[in-house]
Amino acid sequence: MIRLVLPLTLIGAYAASPYVSLYEMGQAVRHGDTRALASDIDWSSVREGLKEDIADGITGDPMPTTSPAVANSDDLPPFGESFVTSMAGNVVDRTVTPQHLAQTMTALRAAGAAPAQPVVEQARFQGPTTFMVALRSPRSPDSETVRLRLDLVPSEWGMRWEVTRAWIPEAMLAQSETHSS
The model's pTM is: 0.74
Q: Return the domain boundaries, the chain.
A: 17-60+77-180
Instruction: Please tell me the predicted confidence (pLDDT) of residue 117.
Output: 78
SS (H, E, C) 108-170: HHHCCCCCCCCEEEEEEEEECCEEEEEEECCCCCCCCCEEEEEEEEEECCEEEEEEEEEECCH
Instruction: Identify the pLDDT of residue 62.
Output: 40
What is residue 83's predicted lDDT score, i.e. its pLDDT? 54
Q: What is the mean pLDDT of each run of 10 residues along the chain (181 residues)?
A: 86 95 92 92 93 70 42 50 61 88 83 76 96 86 83 92 90 56 49
